[in-house]
């Protein structure tokens, strides 16, 4: 579904219309890149978090969870490198006065070349029978020219970013003749570094106040609790600490709906291992994490790994799990081998020993760390975008259905009396009271049954339970399945066994 602007707009307006996501502070004209999760959104979001927590903490006996505070000692961010190096290169266009991330301008340029190649392939596919895609890519002069350009620009770009060469990045933007999408001009300022952390003051008197930061990642809350958890939890290496929580980044260009926000949520896990064993565990977690995504039943063609060309100074291996969002493949989750960098830094800055005593080797050492880090909001967007489907039915009518994996759906069942009389609402209420103790259910008796089915389709409810006159006679109901729209009649006592979540 790459590069589908129209579809993306539809998804955003559907999310608002049905109560998944609202722009923050809307009655005051909203705030850029801040969103509120509405009544259905919060259910989907909580289900995503729970699905992750179960897979990481409940199913792994050697992983425990914590919930650390957002406010932390300011020295933590000095030790982690965020005060000095958590920067993005920014550039302004002098004519439009718009601000951009310089690296994103170059990435977009490369993406356009890739899109051109994809289009060329699609065109040829339609034209020729028995089309050999590989051969076509290897021989078509336009594709070869673009590919050569992509390769040379990518490797120069990676090198410039690696060296934080801001002058070189500006020269590359000029050389590629990248124009501002708003003014169309090439009138750029110099590239500058911009720190992404929000800061504030703690304490009631501002003169004596300390500058503290809103955490830009949850990971540091895990590192600074490493010794506490290891000792009180009697943990044995290898073991992990997981956490779900808010993070804040003053993103220069926040766009693409909830993909890039200034306040967002992360689900992170730091896995502590013996030095020298980190690459084995890096591969292990790559596999585990992609299996987690697979288990949701989303088409695997929407996922790909992207190994980092430019490794952060603390990492010795890193990959992203990218997802095919409506605007193309972008990072959904990061998996990083962070060496012993963070714990060593905290040892240095705090003066406290952050070591593990290994009873098997009789040694004390700073463990190495594999991190898995996924944005809750990006996962939400992946699930919502992927589930949004428009269908034309056999009778020519249209329906919009959210084919959300049932385990994540906001409501699991809707209970619907066929008509609002003859004792059907009372019977339906009985069923509702039974089921709502087990799962999220919605009761609806307004409008014709067909319209009610459509409403449930549009919010992704996997099952509709309809109570009719026969229900009063033999205690049976019909269960309609969302995706197939097939209906079957089951005894009320067997409803729970008949739905698969
Ligand atoms: P990007 O390159 O897209 O800015 P990143 O590499 O800086 O992302 P990480 O620091 O690895 O991201 O953060 C881990 C995860 O947190 C990301 O994979 C993403 O899912 C999520 N995330 C990061 N920044 C944001 C944001 N501004 N809004 C929403 N989610 C985010």
Q: Which tens digit of pLDDT belongs to each residue from 215-250?
A: 999 999 999 999 999 999 999 999 999 999 999 999
Total number of domains constituting the chain: 2
Domain boundary residue among 394, 424, 457?
Answer: 394
Q: What is the pLDDT of residue 207?
A: 63
Check residue 27 and report its DSSP letter: G
- Contact (CB, 8 A) for 498 and 488: yes
What average pLDDT does this structure show over 169-180? 95
The segment with the largest mean pLDDT, out of 144-148, 158-162, 224-228, 327-331, is: 224-228
Asked if the structure places residue 218 within a domain, the reply is yes
Asked if the structure places residue 121 within a domain, the reply is no
| 376 CA from centroid of ligand 1 (Å) | 10
Q: Is the CB of 264 under 6 A from ligand 1?
A: yes
Given the CA of residue 378, which atom of ligand 1 is nearest to it?
Answer: 20
Residues 218 and 362 in one domain: yes
Best residue among 222, 331, 379 to mutate for probing ligand 1's pocket (most ligand atoms within 8 Å of CB) is: 331
Residues 331 and 386 in one domain: yes
Q: Is the CB of 378 under 6 A from ligand 1?
A: yes
Q: Is the CB of 107 under 6 A from ligand 1?
A: no
Residues 259 and 358 in one domain: yes
Q: Is the CB of 322 under 6 A from ligand 1?
A: no
Domain boundary residue among 361, 394, 427?
Answer: 394
- Contact (CB, 8 A) for 113 and 150: yes
Q: Assign 3-state DSSP to the chain and report helix, strand, coil percentages, each to 5.
A: 40, 25, 35
Expressed as residue numbers, the domain containing 461 is 411-498
| 476 CA from centroid of ligand 1 (Å) | 49
Residue with tokens 């009985």: 430
Q: What is the pLDDT of residue 206?
A: 60
Q: Is the CB of 261 under 6 A from ligand 1?
A: yes
Asked if the structure places residue 98 within a domain, the reply is no
Q: What is the pLDDT of residue 2?
A: 40
Cα 260 from Cα 226, distance rounded (Å)? 29
Asked if the structure places residue 136 within a domain, the reply is no
Residues 360 and 477 in one domain: no
391 pLDDT tier (thresholds 50, 70, 90): very high
Given the CA of residue 254, which atom of ligand 1 is nearest to it?
Answer: 27
Residue with tokens 């992750």: 52
Asked if the structure places residue 175 within a domain, the reply is no
Domain boundary residue among 343, 360, 394?
Answer: 394
Residue with tokens 């009789």: 362
Cα 448 from Cα 443, distance rounded (Å)? 14
277 pLDDT tier (thresholds 50, 70, 90): very high
- Here the CATH number for the domain that contains residue 333 is 3.30.930.10
Give the strand pairing for 303-307 and 317-325: antiparallel
Q: Could you tell me which residues are beta bridge partners of residue 305?
A: 321
- Here the CATH number for the domain that contains residue 417 is 3.40.50.800
Whole-prediction pTM: 0.90
Q: Could you tell me which residues are beta bridge partners of residue 303?
A: 323
Asked if the structure places residue 237 within a domain, the reply is yes
Per-residue model confidence as pLDDT tens digits over 255-272 = 789 999 999 999 999 999
Asked if the structure places residue 401 within a domain, the reply is no
Burial call 267-279: b when 16+ CB within 10 Å, e when fewer: bbbbbbbbeeebe
β strands within 219-279, DSSP E = 239-248, 263-273
Residues 253 and 362 in one domain: yes
Q: Could you tell me which residues are beta bridge partners of residue 463?
A: 413, 481
The average confidence (pLDDT) of the chain is 93
């Amino acid at each position: 579904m790459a590069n589908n602007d129209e579809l993306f707009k539809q998804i955003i307006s559907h999310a608002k219309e049905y109560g998944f996501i609202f722009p923050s502070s809307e009655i005051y004209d909203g705030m850029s890149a801040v969103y509120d999760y509405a009544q259905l959104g919060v259910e989907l979001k909580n289900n995503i978090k729970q699905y992750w927590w179960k897979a990481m903490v409940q199913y792994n006996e050697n992983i425990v969870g914590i919930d650390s505070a957002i406010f932390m000692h300011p020295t933590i961010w000095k030790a982690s490198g965020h005060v000095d190096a958590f920067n993005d290169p920014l550039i302004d266009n002098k004519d439009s006065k718009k601000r951009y991330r310089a690296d994103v301008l170059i990435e977009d340029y490369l993406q356009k070349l890739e899109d051109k190649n994809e289009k060329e392939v699609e065109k040829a596919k339609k034209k020729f029978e028995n089309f050999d895609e590989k051969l076509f890519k290897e021989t078509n002069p336009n594709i070869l020219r673009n590919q050569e350009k992509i390769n040379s620009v990518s490797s120069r770009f990676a090198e410039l970013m690696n060296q934080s060469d801001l002058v070189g990045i500006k020269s590359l933007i000029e050389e590629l003749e990248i124009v501002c999408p708003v003014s169309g001009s090439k009138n750029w300022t110099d590239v500058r570094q911009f720190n992404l952390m929000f800061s504030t003051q703690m304490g009631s008197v501002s003169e004596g106040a300390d500058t503290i930061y809103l955490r830009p990642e949850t990971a540091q809350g895990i590192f600074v609790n490493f010794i506490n958890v290891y000792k009180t939890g009697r943990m044995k290496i290898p073991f992990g600490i997981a956490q779900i929580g808010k993070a804040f980044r003053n993103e220069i260009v926040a766009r693409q709906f909830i993909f890039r926000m200034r306040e967002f949520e992360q689900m992170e896990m730091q896995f502590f291992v013996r030095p020298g064993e980190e690459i084995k565990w890096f591969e292990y977690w790559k596999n585990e994490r992609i299996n987690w995504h697979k288990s949701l039943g989303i088409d695997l063609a929407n996922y790909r790994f992207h190994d980092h060309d430019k490794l952060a100074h603390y990492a010795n291996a890193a990959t992203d799990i990218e997802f095919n969002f409506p605007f193309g493949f972008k990072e959904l989750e990061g998996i990083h081998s962070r060496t012993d960098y963070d714990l060593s830094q905290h040892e240095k800055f705090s003066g406290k020993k952050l070591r593990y005593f290994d009873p098997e080797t009789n040694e004390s050492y700073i463990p190495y760390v594999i991190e898995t880090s996924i944005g809750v909001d990006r996962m939400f967007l992946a699930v919502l975008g992927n589930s949004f489907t428009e269908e034309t039915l056999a009778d020519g009518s249209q329906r919009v259905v959210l084919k959300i994996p049932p385990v994540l759906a906001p409501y699991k069942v809707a209970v619907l009396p066929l008509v609002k009389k003859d004792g059907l609402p009372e019977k339906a209420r009985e069923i509702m009271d039974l089921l709502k103790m087990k799962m999220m259910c919605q009761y609806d008796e307004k409008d014709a049954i067909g319209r009610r089915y459509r409403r449930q389709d549009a919010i992704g409810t996997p099952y509709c339970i309809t109570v009719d006159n026969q229900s009063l006679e033999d205690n049976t109901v019909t269960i309609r399945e969302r995706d197939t729209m097939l209906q079957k009649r089951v005894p009320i006592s067997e409803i729970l066994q008949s739905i698969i979540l």
